[in-house]
Chain A
């Protein structure tokens, strides 16, 4: 990657107060104020947001594809952990 690029920031937008922040995308910016402004200009110009977070991308720690087995598979066969008498937001099973 070229060194002439400004740092990358991840943008999270909240559609309405109380709703979770969702990842909207990323912007380049030299500092946090301009990151916020760029995020506003790129990701909220069509009424998508009432609040914006920007986070330097380097501070986002992601699990890797290699982690998949050890991180996520163990929960597959433990049915007793799956709440099926109430809804869990974001869960992929019913």
Chain B
């Protein structure tokens, strides 16, 4: 699986950036904009590293979760669709990790970030680590996050940081499809049979409390917003709710009144599920460090 992912993603990027693997393309952008980094003080630099890790961690963890569907999809077509989305997300994670490694400049690679950090050092959104549950729960989770990512990357495109803005532009194309795919499914499940409707309602009860975590900000955001690098997450909340309400209405689902939210991803505080996910994901590189294939 991992080998397949690596081959597929590197091929895709090669096609898109004229025969260069992803790390080189990010390197190019980095080199081109080196002058900017002379003026970036270390506080800004450290914040930007953390900012990239947050984005990358969310993509990687959700990608890993969707990868669990491989071979288990409800139909062949959907099995491929979910794992396609997984690969898109892992590709996005790689690009943001690579940029974080370059900013940090300590000789780390994307793999070091992915495989050699523990639970408390991961900053992925709590929603991304929640278990797949049934197909309805997976689709709801995907819809809530894809809607968020859609508005997030749309805003990040205007970042002062040229690497972030170009990575956002590329990610946005993929996320636009993820949103279309999950919305269409959610409408069909919500407005489908009594059973499919009930399953999605149950998923809303299970997952809604993790949606507040997506809009949380701390000093990292504050500092980078001042520099015009990061985006104000509070400004995403209104369009996010509007879109969710619009699709819920078509899906005959009730928009929850529940305002109780569980937060913590900004500080690396997670639900019980992330530890198990990392154990499985990191087992091979930790058992055989430096293994190649």
Contacts and interface: CB of A to CB of B under 8 A. Distances in A.
A binds B: yes
Interface of A: 6, 27-31, 33-34, 37-38, 40-42, 45, 47
Given A28-B75, A33-B184, A34-B188, A47 B81 contact: no
A37 B75 contact: no
11 contacts: A6-B75, A28-B76, A30-B188, A34-B188, A37-B81, A38-B81, A41-B77, A41-B80, A42-B76, A42-B77, A47-B15
Nearest to B87: A45
Given A34-B188, A37-B184, A27 B77 contact: yes
B81 A41 contact: yes
Interface of B: 15, 75-78, 80-81, 84, 177, 180-181, 184-185, 188
A1 B78 CA distance: 21
Contacts of A6: 75
B29 to A, nearest CB: 23
Nearest to B187: A33
B84 A41 contact: yes
B15 A28 contact: no
Interface of B is mostly: helix
Contacts of A38: 77-78, 81
Given A41-B84, A47-B15, A28 B184 contact: no
A42 B80 contact: yes
A37 B188 contact: no
Nearest to B180: A37
The 7 lowest CB-CB distance pairs between A and B, nearest first, are A38-B77, A41-B81, A41-B80, A27-B77, A41-B84, A42-B80, A45-B84
A40 B85 CA distance: 12
Contacts of B181: 37
A34 B184 CA distance: 8
Most chain A CB atoms below 10 A, which of B77, B84, B180? B77
Contacts of B84: 41, 45
A57 B286 CA distance: 50
Nearest to A40: B177
Contacts of A34: 184-185, 188
Contacts of A33: 184
Nearest to A45: B84
A22 to B, nearest CB: 20
Given A37-B184, A41-B77, A45-B84, 5 more contacts: A28-B76, A34-B185, A40-B177, A41-B84, A47-B15
A27 B188 CA distance: 18
Contacts of B184: 33-34, 37
B131 to A, nearest CB: 23
Nearest to B77: A38
Nearest to A27: B77
B77 A28 contact: yes
A31 B188 CA distance: 10
Contacts of A27: 77
Nearest to A30: B188
A50 B101 CA distance: 35
